Structures are given as C-alpha cells and as structure tokens.
Amino acid sequence: MRKNKRKYSLADLMTMNIPTAPAPVSKPRETLASFTKSENDRIAKEQAAEQKRIDAEKEAARRKADAPIVALQNEYQDGLRQLRKIQRENLDKPSSELVERCPKSEHTCETAQEYSESMLAALRSGTAGVTLSKSESETLLKVAGANRTEINLTNAAVWKEVYRYCVDLGVVGTSPTPQPAPQPVVPPTPQESFDSMLDRLSTESREGRAVLVDAAAAENFKAATPMFREWREHLHRDYNGFVPSDEDVTFILNTLFPKLNLSYTRGESYNIVRRWMVSQGRWASSMLTDDERLSREMEGTSYSSDYNTTREVKRRLQDVRGAN
C-alpha cells in the first residue's frame, strides 16, 4: 500500500535547518593607485634585470679585450720571477740593473784608508733605521762588492739602492726603505728668571754686575716688545704706511733710547724718538703732526710782538687745533 508523503507547511519549512550553498565572495575592485604601483614595480624589476644583463655583457667584453694585456702581464711576472731567481743565484756577479738604479757619482778619496772610512760611514747612513742579521749584512756586502767598480760605495744614496735591490730579490728582510735614525730630542734648558738671578749673583763683583745688567736689559726688552710692536703699527697706520728700516730700528733701540735716557715701556718715549729722527733729517717732516710742525716752525723763526705777526700765529694755532 502506498504511503502518503508528508506535507510540510510554510511554518515547518521556516523552522527546519536546510543547508544552502555559500554565496560567492567578490574580490575588491582594484584602485588606480594600486594598479599604478604594481605596474611601476614590474617595470623597475624589468629595467634592473636588463641593466644587469648589459653590465654582464660589458664585463665580458672588457675581459675579452683585456685578455691579451693580462696574458702579457702574466708573462712579464713569470719572466721577472725567473730573472730574480737567476740574480739570487749570482749575487757575486755584477748587475746591470743595480748599476742603472744607483746615482752616478765618483769618490774623492785619495788613500785606501780614507776610502774605507768613507765607505763605512756611507753604509751606516744608508742603512740607518734598518736591522739586518749577520747573513743579511754579508749578502748586502757581497752584492755591493760585486759592483764596486761601477758604483760609488762612499755615497749613502748608493747603499740605499743596494738595500732596495736586495729587498726586491728577497735576499734580505722586507723592511721599509731605510730612514735616518731619529735623533734624541734634548729638552731646552729652562731660562733662569731675573729674580732668581738677582738672588744668586752678587752686585759687588764685576762679573755679577755685568750679568745682572745684561739680564735687566733683556727683561726690559721683553716687557717693551708689545709696545714697540704697537708703535710700528701706529707709524704704518697714521703716517701713510711708513715702516722704519732695520737699520733705524737697531739704532733706536740700541743707541737712541740709552742716549736720550728714555724708557722702553713709556709711550711718550716713542713720540720723542719720532720727533728726534725728524729733527736729525733721518725721517721726513711728514712724520710730524700739524701741531708739531707749527711749533717747530715757530721755534726756528724770530718774530717781534707786532700785531700782524701775533695775529697770524693765533690764526694758525686755531686752524691746527680746529683740525684736531
């Protein structure tokens, strides 16, 4: 007997868990900015790959072009190694290469004793600063002796070249090029101060007085140096670039200051010196101020006390003082 199928109502269908297919998920739409970025990245990668290929081709072409040169260089190095080997095996024979490398000169020794002493001195100077073993020293002497008729062994520069030649052959140590041995630095003796000298020496003895006088003069010069420098700058600045000669400077400091009993550290002393040098005709009258020139002119002019002369003097004094 046929069974009747169950009929479901709409309410039954709504309460039932009926499996359904998942809804398709759509990809997000590509923006213009992301598209542009991806295209730029792709183009940059392609360009980098192309540049790498071009560089590789250039390198291959360079190596191909340099191959003959490299081959010649390798051949030269092989030949040089063979030459050095032959030279090491014949150190007791003359070397044309060493003769060409050494400076050309002739010794001036007249006796065998002089030659030996000069050669020994040149050897010490030419290898100063280099430490050689006994066998290396013997090798150096053997090479120099084999070429003694062609090179001047009394020249220190020749011994330097002999040493370099032996280094190139590899028969002595590969030390740096010989340099003069450093000389010991002697610290300067501290100068005794004037006060301590005054305490140590006696003014009653002639020698003590002489030393103290010289020391006092030195102290005076030391203290006056800045002022004298300023005075020279003042002359150059205010008197049309005037610079006293070395002879004038020596005369002023060593003769004129003591003669006029002037102080090196007093500013007015230098004005007195300037006027004195003009008065003796050693410097031009342009080295005087306007006031000084007028005073000098008045001193050298005899005038009466008449009205016109007095008036002229007053006018010129007013002009000078007004200009200052």
Higher pLDDT, 197 or 147: 147
225 and 135 within one domain? no
Which of 134, 151, 169 finishes a domain?
169
- In eight-state DSSP terms, residue 252 is I
- In eight-state DSSP terms, residue 285 is G
Amino acid 276: pLDDT:
92
State pLDDT tens for residues 160-191: 888 888 888 888 875 444 455 555 555 555 55
- Out of 25-34, 46-55, 180-189, 247-256, give the one with best mean pLDDT: 46-55
* Tokens coding 146: 């084999």
Q: What is the pTM of this model?
A: 0.37
d(CA 168, CA 153): 20
Query: Is the pLDDT assigned to residue 197 strictly greater than 50?
Result: no
Amino acid 57: pLDDT:
92
Query: Does residue 268 sit within a domain?
Result: yes
d(CA 311, CA 38): 104
Amino acid 194: pLDDT:
42
What is the maximum alpha-carbon separation in the chain? Answer: 178
Query: Does residue 148 sit within a domain?
Result: yes
Amino acid 203: pLDDT:
46
Query: Does residue 220 sit within a domain?
Result: yes
158 and 229 within one domain? no
- Cβ-Cβ contacts under 8 Å for 263 (sequence gap 6 or more): 269
Higher pLDDT, 59 or 200: 59
d(CA 120, CA 112): 12
Query: Is the pLDDT assigned to residue 51 strictly greater than 90?
Result: yes
d(CA 155, CA 100): 15
Name the residue range of residue 241's domain. 216-323
Which of 110, 135, 169 finishes a domain?
169
Amino acid 50: pLDDT:
94
Amino acid 188: pLDDT:
53
220 and 162 within one domain? no
State pLDDT tens for residues 93-150: 888 888 888 888 777 777 778 778 888 888 888 888 878 788 888 888 888 888 888 8
Higher pLDDT, 184 or 66: 66
240 and 144 within one domain? no
State pLDDT tens for residues 277-313: 998 989 988 888 887 877 776 665 554 455 566 566 6
Query: Does residue 43 sit within a domain?
Result: no
296 and 233 within one domain? yes
Q: What is the DSSP string of 172-208?
A: S--PPPP-PPPPPPPPPPPPPPHHHHHHHS-TTSHHH
d(CA 204, CA 210): 10
Query: Does residue 61 sit within a domain?
Result: no
316 and 244 within one domain? yes
Higher pLDDT, 176 or 14: 14
Query: Does residue 35 sit within a domain?
Result: no
* Tokens coding 135: 């066998």
Query: Does residue 295 sit within a domain?
Result: yes
Is the Cβ–Cβ distance between 224 and 236 less than 8 Å?
no
252 and 312 within one domain? yes
State pLDDT tens for residues 223-282: 667 888 888 888 889 888 888 888 888 888 888 888 888 887 788 889 999 999 998 989
Query: Is the pLDDT assigned to residue 202 strictly greater than 50?
Result: no
Q: How many domains does the chain have?
A: 2
225 and 160 within one domain? no
Higher pLDDT, 51 or 85: 51
Query: Is the pLDDT assigned to residue 48 strictly greater than 80?
Result: yes
Query: Is the pLDDT assigned to residue 55 strictly greater than 90?
Result: yes
d(CA 162, CA 165): 5
Query: Does residue 22 sit within a domain?
Result: no
Distances in whole angstroms, Cα of residue 289 to Cα of each of 218, 227, 269? 33, 20, 16
